[in-house]
């Protein structure tokens, strides 16, 4: 899509008249007195958590923010491949892809050997490695991501809307517990005289602070951000411009000789770009003189860095100045010895870092993607509170890894190029190698959670070497048996909080007496220890808690529908309609027809024995088991679910 041709306008770009994209302001209404979860902050972490919780019927949620209304122009813009996989679970990935700029290549520029005061391109590299994800790396206004989450919330049964103009004053957690152990006092920011204060009180079972680096929730539970700053200042601006710089529509990383460094990120719509511009190094404890900074100063700095090229800025849609600092909170929740957590922190309330590696929004939404379904399972009676401890255990380790990565990335990006006059500088070729080496990290697919009640030891990892226990489920193409449609297997994962169990068949004839998938289905349907029988409520659909899917190696024409086990054709809904989308086959089509990508080969699945792959609601592989390890399958679910 191309848009912003005649100026930047926020909102849905599919409206020809920008005024038609304006969303009415929210209706002013009081807060409820009691909720299951109170979310503080309408950033990406908070909205993602709210959107996920609304997928569970009966959970009462309130989300508050100090702002007057929804975000229109966002600060974050990079959407990692892993985040797009999560968006697919909500159903809005396709719309994001349609609107966004897709990052395909990155260009590296360094001082010219012939003219050191001018820059020259050193190379272009592929931005995302082949088969890293079925999803692309994208650039889009953060506000559009917020809009998507808000739509999910509004369209849910809860019809949830944020409560704006609300400032958290304080929190109190009752050590004795009770049904609603957390009491929050919230100031309603209204246009009364300065001597009037309207305070609302709300009681909650859990509170989640998604309220940024200056988090009031974090302060209320006595936690703080610790770390250091690199004493570097950067300007950032979204602009509509003309230029003779040849790579203006590529992600470009520029090291100049004496004028500083710059990062160019093309924006959605085909015309706008984001410029990250290095400013002078700050003195110790010095803050950026924001009141002295102007867009004109940033534009002049960009033109100095880009010599011999120039930019002619026609419109500044947004700009800001920030200082780089890497900090992480002392704890991700308020748990104490003998008392489980009642208050959690997520997003920038937990960790702060530079935006150049594009990890802020992406890490924030992954925090609450990890937490949301766990809270929902506890609140709906599916799981014990003990699973909530895994949130802090899993996300704090990754938050620290992010800080370490960002510190090194920022140091290399901000350093002067290595030269005869500056032998201690950074070799631009070394920086490029670092950029490529950590491609999995910046794409968000490198996370591997450690063994716990929710992650197995990986004893049988060899049965599916490419579906790594503790890492996200790496999707691959398959053919859906019911309608012969080529699909991505990972797109079975929706944000409904269900575990997925994939039964990859061995080389036996499908549904024959020797077929391991048939034997597994018999166990799940009939055995008293079957997790399907133990953990699925009587009034719920058969796949509401554990969603079984089967994958066969044979061509889909070789399997007749009437041979499938009833567990793979479950009856659902008030009419008991048959679900025809539980069975898949490897893509055996020839290359000429778009095939040639066999999931067994791509993901290292044992073709002789097959296997079971258990996937958590947040799309992470919980364990890989032999196809006949019924005890191991039941043992895993016995550890994370409560009998219905």
Provide DSSP, 161-204: --B-SEEEEEEEE-TT--SS-EEEEEEE--SS-TT--EEEEEEE
What residues does 583 pair with on adjacent strands? 550
Provide DSSP, 624-635: EE-TT-HHHHHH
Question: How buried is residue 26: exposed, middle or buried, by Cβ count under 10 Å (0-12/13-18/19+)?
Answer: middle
> Pick from 285, 286, 279: which is nearest to 235 by CA?
279
In the chain, count H helices and then E strands: 14, 26
Residue 452 DSSP one-character state = B
> Pick from 124, 129, 128: which is nearest to 137 by CA?
128
Contact of 572 with 542, CB cutoff 8 Å: yes
Active-site annotation, residues: 77, 267, 276, 355
Residue that the structure tokens 């912003």 belong to: 4
What residues does 623 pair with on adjacent strands? 614
Contact of 336 with 235, CB cutoff 8 Å: no
Tell me which H or E stretch contains 125: strand 119-126
CB atoms within 10 A of CB 572: 14
| Residue 316 structure tokens | 């500044």
Residue 288 DSSP one-character state = P
How do 621-625 and 611-615 pair as beta strands?
Answer: antiparallel
Contact of 311 with 303, CB cutoff 8 Å: yes
Provide DSSP, 320-351: EEEEEEEEEES-SB--BTTB--SEEE-GGGTE
| Angle between helical axes of 428-437 and 389-414 (0-180°, round to 10) | 160
Is the dihedral angle over the CA atoms 180, 350, 144, 104 positive or is it negative?
negative
CA distances from 486 to 82, 416, 568 (A): 21, 49, 19
> Pick from 58, 55, 107, 432: which is nearest to 252 by CA?
107
> Pick from 543, 547, 552: which is nearest to 500 by CA?
547
CA torsion angle 488 490 492 498 (round to 10): 180
| Angle between helical axes of 360-379 and 44-53 (0-180°, round to 10) | 30
CA torsion angle 625 630 632 634 (round to 10): 130
Residue 507 DSSP one-character state = S
């Amino acid at each position: 899509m191309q848009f912003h041709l005649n100026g930047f306008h926020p909102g849905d770009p599919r409206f020809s008249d920008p005024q038609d994209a304006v969303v009415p302001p929210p209706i002013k209404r009081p807060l409820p007195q009691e909720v299951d979860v109170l979310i503080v902050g309408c950033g990406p972490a908070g909205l993602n958590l709210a959107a996920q919780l609304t997928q569970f019927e009966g959970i009462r949620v309130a989300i508050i923010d100090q702002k007057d209304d929804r975000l229109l122009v966002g600060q974050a813009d990079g959407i990692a491949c892993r985040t797009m996989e999560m968006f697919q679970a909500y159903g809005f990935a396709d719309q994001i892809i349609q609107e966004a700029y897709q990052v395909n290549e990155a260009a590296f520029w360094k001082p010219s050997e012939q003219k050191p005061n001018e820059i020259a391109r050193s190379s272009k590299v592929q931005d995302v490695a082949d088969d890293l994800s079925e999803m692309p790396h994208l650039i889009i206004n953060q506000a559009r991501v917020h809009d998507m989450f808000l739509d999910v919330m509004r369209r849910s049964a809860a019809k949830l809307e944020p409560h704006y103009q609300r400032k958290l004053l304080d929190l109190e957690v009752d050590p004795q517990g009770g049904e609603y152990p957390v009491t929050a006092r919230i100031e309603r920011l209204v246009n009364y005289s300065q001597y009037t204060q309207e305070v609302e009180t709300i009681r909650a079972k859990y509170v989640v602070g998604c309220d940024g680096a200056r988090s009031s929730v974090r302060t209320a539970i006595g936690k703080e951000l610790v770390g250091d700053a690199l004493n570097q200042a950067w300007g950032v601006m979204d602009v509509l411009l003309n230029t003779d710089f040849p790579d203006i529509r590529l992600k470009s990383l520029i090291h100049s000789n004496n004028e500083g460094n710059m990062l160019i990120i093309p924006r959605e719509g085909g015309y706008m770009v984001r410029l990250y511009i290095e400013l002078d190094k700050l003195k110790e404890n010095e803050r950026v003189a924001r009141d002295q900074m102007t867009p004109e100063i940033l534009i002049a700095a960009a033109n100095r860095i880009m010599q011999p090229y120039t930019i002619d800025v026609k419109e500044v849609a947004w700009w800001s100045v920030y200082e780089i600092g890497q900090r992480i909170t002392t704890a991700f929740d308020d748990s104490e010895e003998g008392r489980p957590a009642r208050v959690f922190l997520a997003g920038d309330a937990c960790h702060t870092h530079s935006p150049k590696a594009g990890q802020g929004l992406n890490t924030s939404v992954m925090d609450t993607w990890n937490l949301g379904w766990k809270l929902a399972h506890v609140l709906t009676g599916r799981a014990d509170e003990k699973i909530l401890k895994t949130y802090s255990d899993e996300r704090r380790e990754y938050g620290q890894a992010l800080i370490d990565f960002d510190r090194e990335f920022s140091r290399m990006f901000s350093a002067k190029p290595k030269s005869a006059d500056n032998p201690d500088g950074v070799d631009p070729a070394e920086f490029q190698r670092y950029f490529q080496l950590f491609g999995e990290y910046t794409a968000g697919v490198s996370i591997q959670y450690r063994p716990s009640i929710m992650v197995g030891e990986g004893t049988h990892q060899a049965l599916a070497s490419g579906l790594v226990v503790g890492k996200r489920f790496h999707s691959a193409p398959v053919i859906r048996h019911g309608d012969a449609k080529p699909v991505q297997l990972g797109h079975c994962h929706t944000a409904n909080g269900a575990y997925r169990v994939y039964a990859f068949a061995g080389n036996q004839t499908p549904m024959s007496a020797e077929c391991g998938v048939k034997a597994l289905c018999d166990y799940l349907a009939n055995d008293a220890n079957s997790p399907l029988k133990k953990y699925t409520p009587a009034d719920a659909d058969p796949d509401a808690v554990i969603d079984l899917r089967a994958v066969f190696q044979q061509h889909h024409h070789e399997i007749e529908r009437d041979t499938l086990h009833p567990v793979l054709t479950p009856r659902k809904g008030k009419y008991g309609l048959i679900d025809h989308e539980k069975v898949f086959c490897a893509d055996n089509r020839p290359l000429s027809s778009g095939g040639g990508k066999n999931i067994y080969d791509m993901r290292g699945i044992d073709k002789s024995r097959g296997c079971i792959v258990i996937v958590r609601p947040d799309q992470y592989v919980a364990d890989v088991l032999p196809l006949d390890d019924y005890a191991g399958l039941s043992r895993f679910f016995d550890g994370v679910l409560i009998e219905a």
